[in-house]
Amino acid sequence: MSKKENPLVIIYHLLFAISSSVVGAIVASWPLLFVFVLVQKTNETVHLSIFKVMHNYNQLMWYLMWPFKSKLKMDDLPTSTSAALHFADCKRLFLLAIIVFIICSIIYLIAKKSGNRSYLYLDKTWSLLFLILPVVILPFAMTNFDSFFTIFHHIFFTDSNWLFDPATDPIINVLTEGFFAACFAVAGIIYELYFASKLLKK
């Protein structure tokens, strides 16, 4: 089997693309949330200033991304037991994506420093395949994001803890469907750009 068809290289690039899209969406979520709160005025539904909302979001994201933070506590937004369990599940997925991203980045830097980046070469056929793969679900996701979001949660979560009650978990009034759709869009763009760059690479 040639290097171009090395299954480990194929898996490496797929994992790098997915983890990059997740990490990119996480980073983009801060300005996205600020814009959505500013435009939709969702801070008024939780009776907080925009900056208070962002402060609580910082606390949430710090819990989700920091492995040694074992308990979620937001100053102004209470969290039910059910929601806490869901965020704990999200934390495991976030940490997995971050760890994979770091490992893939280290592998790339080592290959670059040693001058052996050719070992990570991805055949253009695979690049094209991975590039067009999301296009299959794109029309469905764009026209019916609510159903897409539901299916996504059924795939990655085994319970219904992700169905928040605004009365007990007011954070859901701030993390709107539009906000999540924008985060998914950013992740999709990063994923597509990753394989587009491989496809255009000489």
Triad 68, 51, 29: Cα angle to 5°: 60
Taking only the tens of pLDDT, the chain with its 202 residues reads 444 468 899 999 999 999 999 999 999 999 999 999 999 999 999 999 999 999 999 999 999 999 999 999 999 999 999 999 999 999 999 999 999 999 999 999 998 888 776 778 898 999 999 999 888 887 777 788 888 888 899 899 888 899 999 999 999 999 999 999 999 999 999 999 999 999 887 6
Dmax over Cα atoms in the chain, in whole Å?
A: 62
Element (H, E) at 90: helix 81-114
Model pLDDT, residue 133 = 87
Model pLDDT, residue 202 = 66
Structural contact between residues 39 and 176, judged by C-beta atoms closer than 8 angstroms: no
Rounded Cα gap, residues 157 and 144, in angstroms: 20
Q: pTM score, two decimals?
A: 0.91
Structural contact between residues 15 and 100, judged by C-beta atoms closer than 8 angstroms: yes
User: Which residue's entry shows tokens 């899209």?
Assistant: 21
Nearest to 106 by CA among 16, 190, 1: 16
Rounded Cα gap, residues 100 and 120, in angstroms: 16
Model pLDDT, residue 67 = 94
C-alpha distances (whole Å) from 182 to each of 3, 30, 32, 43, 63 are 37, 11, 7, 18, 22
Take residue 72 and report the two structure tokens written for it: 């979620």
